[in-house]
């Protein structure tokens, strides 16, 4: 006898509860180290730049080159993930980038800085869109924002960890003949290799291959994902070049370009901006950034849950983008220690949520192999923004002697970002796939 509606809800709730607990914590830890290895250079920047004689332009170019390497190898990496499987490929990504991140401690010249940042981006390419693709095989749409938000909090959590650790690590300056920033890269890089090995051993491949789901739970996941594919319709194209002609991919890419470009640019220089505006030392800045990470974690979880229940991810993304833009304008126009600190905390509260909410909807519009290629294409455009904007920021800082022009530029980028999200919402509103939410 077929299961009743109430029984289906109970089966779905059980399946999702198991999947969340078996998958999300491991992906969360992996992304935590990914984000730390991506932006730990922001905490090292002041001392490293002084020790090695790097200008703002050199630092901005090096900071951005990570994202150029990421962008160029995003699609190839995701195609390899589809071929070899998420577990093997995500583990490979983590092991290589952990080694390269620790290798940053050996940098002595601008050229070495450029090369290692570029290679670090190449190593990490495909991680985030790969996870989105992997989740599309586990979590139906009514659970997807929560699933993404629960691993996306790794970003603000990393800010907490780095904020609490970085002052201490930089304080090791002179120990064993090493600078404090060298200790920072070493201590925050090598553990990523160990996490990669854990992923290789324990990350499940697919619902059909695990023993901890019963047949009814496996069937429920398969049926929900099949229903999603039917509602989305057939893939527009599997061709890698044709994917860039897909309007849904292009609009999401423009949103990613503006959001990630502005977010990464500010994040790479936030400790230096806060230090100049507030007069706090490295430890104080670390605590401020750490507190921003704490409230950002709570906000990301809350917005992910609310978006799934409300059924409209993009209205929440729009509101978060408006707050980001407003906080940047406040830092520019009212640069007192108190207003800068409060505006930074407002920025930190919502800054991770925009990309999280928009990207959790990629699988609503793209399916199958198109999702793997399309997600990588969207993220490629996003990473190009993260490459170009820090370089422009550094050049403007060297030309003007301050960060005001850069702050104005990224504030305007986030204003455009909010407008683009509103346009995207108008296109997909009413097409969001709804199902009865299950507890997870």
Q: Residue 312, Cα to own-chain centre: how many angstroms?
A: 21
Report the chain's C-alpha Rg in angstroms: 21
Distance between CA atoms of residues 67 and 71, nearest Å? 6
pLDDT at 322 over 90: yes
Q: Are 143 and 13 in contact (CB under 8 A)?
A: no
> Which is more confidently placed, 78 or 393?
393
pLDDT at 337 over 80: yes
pLDDT at 439: 42
Q: What is the helix (H) or strand (E) element at residue 260, kind and residue range?
A: helix 247-278
Quick check: helix, strand or coil at residue 241?
Answer: coil
pLDDT confidence of 60, banded at 50, 70, 90?
confident
pLDDT at 151: 78
Distance between CA atoms of residues 315 and 330, nearest Å? 23
Q: Which of 254-263, 301-310, 391-400 has the lowest mean pLDDT?
A: 301-310
Six-digit token string for 304: 């992910």
Q: Where are the domains of the chain?
A: 5-428
| CATH number for the domain formed by residue range(s) 5-428 | 1.20.1250.20
pLDDT at 433: 41
Burial class (CB in 10 A: 0-12, 13-18, 19+), 191: middle
Distance between CA atoms of residues 156 and 189, nearest Å? 18
Q: Are 64 and 180 in contact (CB under 8 A)?
A: no
pLDDT at 437: 45
Six-digit token string for 277: 């505006």
Distance between CA atoms of residues 293 and 110, nearest Å? 30
pLDDT at 378 over 90: no
Q: Are 266 and 412 in contact (CB under 8 A)?
A: no
> Which is more confidently placed, 234 or 229?
229
pLDDT at 281 over 50: yes
> Which is more confidently placed, 436 or 87?
87
Six-digit token string for 217: 């739970």
pLDDT at 236: 47
pLDDT at 429: 64
pLDDT at 340 over 60: yes
pLDDT at 434: 44
pLDDT at 394 over 50: yes
Residue pLDDT, tens place only, 177-203: 899 889 988 888 888 899 999 999 999
| Mean pLDDT to the nearest integer, 110-118 | 93
Of 303, 314, 322, 321, residue with least CA distance to 430: 314
Residue pLDDT, tens place only, 24-44: 999 888 888 877 777 778 888
pLDDT at 157: 80
| Mean pLDDT to the nearest integer, 226-239 | 59
| Mean pLDDT to the nearest integer, 203-227 | 89
Q: Which of 79-88, 154-163, 310-319 has the lowest mean pLDDT?
A: 154-163
pLDDT at 114: 94
pLDDT confidence of 106, banded at 50, 70, 90?
very high
Of 328, 321, 348, residue with least CA distance to 277: 328
Q: Taking all residues of the chain, what is their mean pLDDT, rounded to a whole number?
A: 84
What Cα–Cα distance (Å) separates residue 371 from each residue in 77, 122, 364? 14, 21, 9
Q: Scanning the structure block, which residue is given the tokens 């600190």?
A: 341
Within 10 angstroms of residue 229's Cβ, the number of other Cβ atoms is 14
| pTM higher than 0.85 | no
Q: What percent of the chain has pLDDT over 90?
A: 27
Q: Which of 145-149, 222-226, 274-278, 389-393 has the lowest mean pLDDT?
A: 145-149
- Listed ranges 129-143, 224-238, 401-415; the one with the highest mean pLDDT: 401-415
Residue pLDDT, tens place only, 135-171: 888 888 777 777 877 877 877 787 777 777 777 888 8
pLDDT at 367: 60
């Amino acid at each position: 006898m077929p299961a009743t509606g109430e029984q289906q809800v109970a089966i779905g709730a059980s399946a999702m509860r198991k999947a969340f607990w078996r998958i999300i914590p491991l992906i969360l830890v992996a992304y935590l180290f990914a984000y730390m290895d991506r932006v730990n250079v922001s905490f090292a920047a002041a001392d490293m730049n002084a020790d090695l004689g790097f200008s703002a332009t050199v630092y901005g170019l090096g900071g951005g080159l990570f994202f150029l390497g990421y962008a160029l190898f995003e699609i190839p990496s995701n195609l390899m993930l589809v071929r070899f499987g998420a577990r093997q490929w995500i583990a490979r990504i983590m092991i290589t980038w952990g080694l390269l991140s620790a290798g940053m401690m050996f940098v002595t010249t601008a050229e070495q800085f450029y090369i290692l940042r570029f290679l670090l981006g190449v190593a990490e390419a495909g991680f985030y869109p790969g996870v989105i693709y992997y989740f599309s095989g586990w979590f139906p749409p009514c659970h997807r924002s929560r699933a993404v938000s629960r691993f996306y909090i790794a970003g603000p959590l990393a800010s907490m960890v780095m904020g609490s650790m970085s002052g201490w690590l930089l304080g090791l300056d002179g120990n064993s003949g090493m600078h404090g920033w060298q200790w920072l890269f070493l201590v925050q890089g090598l553990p990523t290799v160990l996490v990669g090995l854990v992923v290789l051993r324990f990350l499940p491949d697919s619902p059909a291959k695990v023993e901890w789901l019963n047949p009814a739970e496996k069937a429920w996941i398969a049926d929900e994902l099949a229903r999603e594919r039917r509602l989305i319709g057939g893939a527009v194209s599997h061709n890698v070049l044709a994917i860039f002609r897909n309007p849904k991919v292009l609009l999401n890419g423009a949103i990613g370009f503006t959001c990630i470009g502005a977010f990464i640019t500010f994040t790479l220089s936030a400790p230096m901006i806060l230090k100049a505006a507030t007069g706090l030392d490295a430890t104080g800045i670390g605590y401020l950034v750490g507190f921003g990470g704490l409230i950002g974690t709570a906000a990301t979880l809350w917005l992910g849950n609310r978006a799934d229940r409300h059924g409209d991810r993009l209205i929440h993304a729009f509101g978060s983008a408006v707050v980001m833009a407003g906080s940047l304008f406040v830092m520019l126009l009212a640069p007192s220690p108190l207003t800068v600190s409060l505006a930074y905390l407002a920025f930190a509260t919502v800054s991770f949520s925009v990309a999280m909410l928009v990207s959790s909807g990629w699988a609503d519009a793209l399916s199958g192999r198109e999702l793997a290629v399309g997600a990588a294409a969207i993220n490629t455009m996003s990473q190009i923004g993260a490459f170009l904007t820090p370089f422009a920021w550094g050049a403007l800082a060297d030309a003007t002697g301050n960060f005001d022009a850069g702050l104005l530029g990224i504030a305007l980028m986030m204003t455009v970002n909010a407008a683009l999200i509103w346009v995207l919402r108008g296109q997909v509103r009413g097409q969001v796939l709804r199902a009865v939410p299950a507890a997870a």
